A and B are shown apart, each in its own frame.
Chain A
Amino acid sequence: MNYLEVQDLTVSYRTAAGELPAVRGVDLAVAPGSKVGIAGESGCGKSTVALALLRLLPASARMGGRILLDGEDVLTMRWGRLRAVRWAGASIVFQGAMHSLNAVHRIGDQIAEPILLHENATPAAAARRAGELLEQVGLPARRAAAYPHELSGGQRQRVMIAMALACGPRLIVADEPTTALDVMIQAQILRLIDQLVGEHGISMLMISHDLSVLADTCDRLAVMYAGRVVEEGPADQVFRSARHPYGAALGAAFPTIGDPASRRSPRGLPGDPPDPAAMPAGCAFGPRCPVAEPRCAETDPVLWPAGPDRAAACVRVLSDEQARGAGVPAGGAAPAEQVAAHPEKEGRTP
């Protein structure tokens, strides 16, 4: 059974301008011990998904669908149960560790905090455990007395990782864990995460705008665009030969690290993601798509099998597969209003 299973997740924000959809029906599955990546530009909804997993979104967000963590639906949990599940069942390594750590508390105390909360440990035992965790992430235990501002960016990210491991969770969500770091440190941190997750047999959901980072680290990859998964499959295949034009553009981009411009839009792909208040008719990617056809403005494609163990949401994929006559359900072309359902559940499980 999958440790994490997200089914038809929708998130919308109530604003003065009305309800704005941020996530429009996302399905994801993370099997025990596996590593799944979510890629996409800023604003595609990937961080919203990460926060939704533990119901950490602001009060103005409305969520729908199901988020099954070890078989339990996070969205319908009682508050007490939810607090118990947070960090102990799944923990998060946030992006930008500078602001994710509290500036006025020592890092040792911040690592020990969830241990004290979830494990009934004595303060001395929690402090000892915090020291051990720091050594596991490659920092001397005496650094526990340091404040966040006394550490470098890479060191702070190590602290975040140590903190995420504190309660021995079965799933770690890494939300852009290396975004603010320079290339060398980025590689170190990725290796560290990879190693620790492997050692402890923890499942991981890693979120990044950088497809190459995800391809290196993860088993499977999902590419998100405008609040939906548009491509999904084994990591190296998605990276090397994406079936969705957006996935292909992301994969070809190899963004320059640290250059905000390439972060916002992959090279060779003009324009911006659509405004959630004014979604284009048909395919959300249509207006920016280099290979768009007239029918793209009429059809809102859903995830469709695109080869063994893969899926993509593009009408071209659909017609290719149709031409090949593989696994086409009755009904032919995807109807315009069809919402992303669950085509081939087993095809999405690693």
Chain B
Amino acid sequence: MLGSVVSLLAVMLTGFFLFRILPGDPVRTMTQGRAVTVEQLAELRRQFGLDKPLPQQFLDYCLGLLRFDLGTSFQYRAPVAELIAERLWPTVLLVGTGTVIAAMLGLWLGTRAAWRRGSVTDRLSTGVALTLWSVPTFWLGLILIVVFAGGLGGVLPHLFPTGGMASPGVTGFLPGVLDVAHHMVLPVTTMVAVVYAQYLLIMRSSLLDEMGGDYLVTARAKGLRDALVLRRHAVPNALLPTVTLIFLNLGGVVAGAILVEAVFSWPGLGMLFYEALRVPDLPLVQGLFIFFSASVIFMNLLADLVYPLLDPRVRT
């Protein structure tokens, strides 16, 4: 709990340092490559409060954060917090679906691989996982678009839309849901493909750690079938370290979301981040940096709360 608060403070500090101090002149960075007059620059500095002394800037920044005021976007001329709130739900939908599927797939395949260690299944699924793990997320997304949305330049039918979250002109609840689901197939596949591998590898190695456990000999001595020994005794124990690591690796999921959204033009936070980078819209990048970091810290806090439910040893 205290650790999370300290981490959040550190995120705030980093945010300030990264975007106000490191660039030297943030306004210069934002307007690079454009023709701007000295007066315009001064006006922008005044607008973003950059003309004040640094301690004053820092105080304003901290007070703003306390009121969830993340500043004003340079590009949209709108409050950053508002933009984030607007784009939050598409990301939650995409990341949530992707993570749940990836976790289930990874845990299931990891369990199977560990239980039959050294078998063809094990080698195959570990090999595929390692390969997908080595593939850059964005490239996999591009290839999926070329093959399944673009139909390889006309060779294949156009099975899925190339991007976005909904088609124009679709009305009604059920058609709307189906349309969004249709748009989600490729982005979710990309996310799952890249993320599930690490769950598989973690589950596999933590189950292999449990395999030598004496309590499994007890379970087998009781006359349980192998499948029950695995499901009822080995897996619940192996899940403990796995869950911790899954939460620890959420930062990776956030990164995956940014790339997937950028590639599939999914109108979420990742896409917003990508657009902000290209300007670069520093207040927006800073706001998203703080938001992403804070949500990962929050998820870790959540993991600390979930963990006791799984492990009775921590509960007491």
Contact = CB atoms under 8 A, between A and B. Distances in A.
Within 8 Å by CB, do A and B touch in the complex?
yes
Interface of A: 51, 54, 56, 83-88, 91-92, 94, 96, 99-105, 113-114, 117-118, 147, 149-150, 163
Contacts of B77: none
B316 interface: yes
Residue with the greatest number of chain B CB neighbours at <10 A, chosen from A88, A96, A102: A102
A172 to B, nearest CB: 12
Nearest to B311: A104
Q: How large is the interface on B (under 10, 10 to 19, 20 to 34, 35 or more residues)?
A: 20 to 34
21 contacts: A83-B225, A84-B223, A86-B221, A86-B222, A94-B217, A99-B215, A101-B215, A101-B218, A102-B219, A103-B215, A103-B237, A104-B240, A104-B310, A105-B233, A105-B236, A113-B222, A114-B222, A147-B313, A147-B316, A150-B316, A163-B218
A214 to B, nearest CB: 22
Given A149-B312, A149-B313, A150-B316, A99 B223 contact: no
Contacts of B220: 56, 86
Contacts of B213: 99
Given A100-B214, A103-B215, A88 B311 contact: no
6 tightest A-B CB contacts, nearest first: A86-B223, A99-B214, A147-B312, A83-B223, A114-B222, A102-B215
A333 to B, nearest CB: 42
A220 B312 CA distance: 42
B224 interface: yes
Most buried by A among B213, B223, B236, B311: B223
Given A99-B213, A100-B215, A92 B221 contact: yes
A203 B214 CA distance: 24
Interface string B46-75: 000000000000000000000000000000
Interface in B193-238: 213-215, 217-225, 233, 236-237
A54 B222 CA distance: 10
A88 B223 contact: yes
A189 to B, nearest CB: 17
B134 to A, nearest CB: 30
Contacts of A85: 223
A75 B221 CA distance: 15
B313 A54 contact: no
Contacts of B240: 104
A100 B233 CA distance: 11
A103 B312 contact: yes
Nearest to B214: A99
Most chain B beta-carbon neighbours within 10 Å: one of A92, A96, A100, A118: A100
B233 A117 contact: no
Contacts of B316: 147, 149-150
A103 B225 contact: no
B89 to A, nearest CB: 36
